Amino acid sequence: MHYDTILVTHRGPTAVVALNRPDKLNAMSMMLKAELVRALADLDKHEETRTIVLTGSGDKAFTAGADIHEFQGRTAIEQWRMYEHGTLYDAVDRTAKPLLAMINGYCFGGGLELAMACDIRIASDRATLGQTEINIGIIPGGGGSQRLPRLVGLGNALKLTLTGNRVDAAEALRVGLVDEVVPHSRLEQRTFEIADRIASRSALAVRLAKAAVRASARLPLDQGRLYEQSLFTLVMESEDKEEGVRAFLEKRDAKWKDH
């Protein structure tokens, strides 16, 4: 598959998708977003890929957000059509495999929305994050107003969104915007360590667990518990459940079949 604005590489069971416009701090043009949507759909179907890491090319940015040039002259109707066709953030939501955001530098606006749509966020100690749309007279449009308060609480979300201030990695960790911060030189190693650990589990169980946990963001507790129970009931039928339990009782490593 050929792409102009992203790079897809494979490292064992982990696919690494790098936003690749380093001279523009990996700003997300429409083309880049469309290519990301395509890559995620392909990788979700690709059998050998068990986890997906999103990151930015170069040493400065994860992504500095949506390409601001493309806002110029855009009409309301054009914006509405873009939403009708589905967004990058919807595509991230649809991805069944675990997605890790490896935040290697600037992570602003739509870039923060992209990272927040992922499952796990690992940041370099050099990263700077912000919900910065207000600085150019707009508001978050990729789910930021909804995902940010779920991650950091209403007060922190409003503070970040209304001020447009940037925070460093330590502050992002403190408020729960990222899940782990590591020295820049260890970012890849630590991210792949987590990705490999997930990849060593039953792929079926991983997908069901991800679906159950993510449902908690959109369902009330009683409905979420029912959803969890239906997935738990389903997993009772899996060969991996039989194998996992047998391996535990026989004191050996399980050999997953992923079904």
Which positions are catalytic?
113, 133
What gap in Å lies between CA 42 and CA 34, rounded to an integer? 13
Written as six digits, the tokens of 176 are 């729960």
Residue 47: count of CB within 10 angstroms of its CB: 7
Binding site for ligand COA (CB under 6 A): 24-25, 27, 64-69, 106, 108-110, 132-133, 135-136
Written as six digits, the tokens of 150 are 């779920």
* Spatial CB neighbours of 258, under 8 Å, sequence gap ≥ 6: 202, 203, 204, 240
Partners of residue 121 on adjacent β-strands: 101
Nearer to ligand COA, 137 or 220 (CB): 137
Residue nearest to ligand COA (CB): 109
Quick check: helix, strand or coil at residue 52?
A: strand
Residue type, 71: F
By residue count, the chain amounts to 259
* Spatial CB neighbours of 227, under 8 Å, sequence gap ≥ 6: 212, 215, 219
Nearer to ligand COA, 112 or 199 (CB): 112
Nearer to ligand COA, 162 or 234 (CB): 162
Q: How far is the CB of 52 from ligand COA (least distance, A)?
A: 23
Nearer to ligand COA, 108 or 192 (CB): 108
SS3 content of the chain, % helix, strand, coil (to 5): 50, 15, 30
